[in-house]
Amino acid sequence: MISYTWHFEVIWQYSRLFLAGTGVTIGLTIAVVILGLLIGLVAGLMQLARSPVLRWVSWAYIEMFRLTPLLVLLLWFYYALPMLTGIKIDALSASVITLSLYGGSFYAEVIRGGIVSIESGQTEAGLALGMTPARVMRRIVLPQAIKRMIPPLMNQSIIQFKNTSLVSVLAVPDLLYQGQVVAMDTYRALEVYTAIAAIYFVVLLPLTVIVKMAERRLAQSN
């Protein structure tokens, strides 16, 4: 180890692969964050529904995904689900579906928590004006709740960004998968995996700074 000579130039030689991998990772994150937020919003609102059936369905979904390892879920959706349904899905679709559902279960809890944190007097004031409950939610409660949800939602999205690295087991060509290809090609695992860790870090660093700033602004406005 002491006499190890670093050869980071291999990273440059394979820079196109790293770039392509980073692109896939970022694109995948954007897709699963957006889809996850939509799923989370629906599941979070269902948690607050009057119908016990809706509440139970969303509870079952949330706990099922929150309490199962993501790696197990990925393998299940890619290998087991097609056996069950007879419908074959490609690795990328399986990844997007699994990560979105997995992220959605965490987003749902954040969204539900944000909504119930708004004082009931706000809802009453909206209802008293003659607004329907749906309109009260859209005009009065959600705009206030979203402000409180943003920091935890961003934290969850940062975790989702890192979670995407697991799709490499399904041979989706993300950053980690491309890195593995390069490492096997060059026998330069140390340089390659160090570079990969650094890329994840560099992409996420500005995001964490934004979250910190958002949390500070929120603390002030309260």
Partner 1 sequence: MDNCKIEISALRKSFGALAVLRDINLKVEAGSVVALIGPSGSGKSTLLRCINLLVLPEGGRIRVGDDAFSFDGNAKLSSTREQARFRSNTGMVFQHFNLFPHMTVVQNVMEGPLSVKRMPKAKAEAVARKLLDKVGLSDKGDVYPNKLSGGQKQRVAIARALAMEPAVMLFDEVTSALDPELVGEVLNVIRDLAADGMTMIIVTHEIGFAREVADRVLFMRDGVIVEEGPAREVIDHPKEETTRVFLSHFHNRG
Q: Which residues bind partner 1 (CB under 8 A)?
A: 119, 121-122, 124-133, 135, 139-140, 143-144, 147
How far apart are CB 128 and partner 1 at their closest, in Å?
4
| Distance set, CA 209 to CA 147, 154, 206 (Å) | 17, 11, 5
For partner 1, the closer CB: 123 or 186? 123
- Distance, CA of 48 to CA of 62 (rounded, Å): 13
How far apart are CB 77 and partner 1 at their closest, in Å?
38
Going by the DSSP 8-state scheme, the letter that residue 68 receives in this structure is S
| Distance set, CA 128 to CA 45, 133, 137, 145 (Å) | 22, 11, 14, 20
For partner 1, the closer CB: 123 or 194? 123
For partner 1, the closer CB: 116 or 190? 116
Contact 8, 191 (CB under 8 A): yes
How far apart are CB 49 and partner 1 at their closest, in Å?
13
Cβ atoms < 10 Å from Cβ of 176: 24
**196: which 2 tokens?**
């990969």
For partner 1, the closer CB: 36 or 126? 126
For partner 1, the closer CB: 125 or 198? 125
User: How many residues appear in the chain?
Assistant: 222
How far apart are CB 121 and partner 1 at their closest, in Å?
4
Handedness of CA 129, 135, 136, 139 (dihedral sign): negative
For partner 1, the closer CB: 128 or 202? 128
Nearest to 138 by CA among 150, 122, 153: 122
Cβ atoms < 10 Å from Cβ of 207: 14
How far apart are CB 45 and partner 1 at their closest, in Å?
15
How far apart are CB 59 and partner 1 at their closest, in Å?
23
Contact 79, 90 (CB under 8 A): no
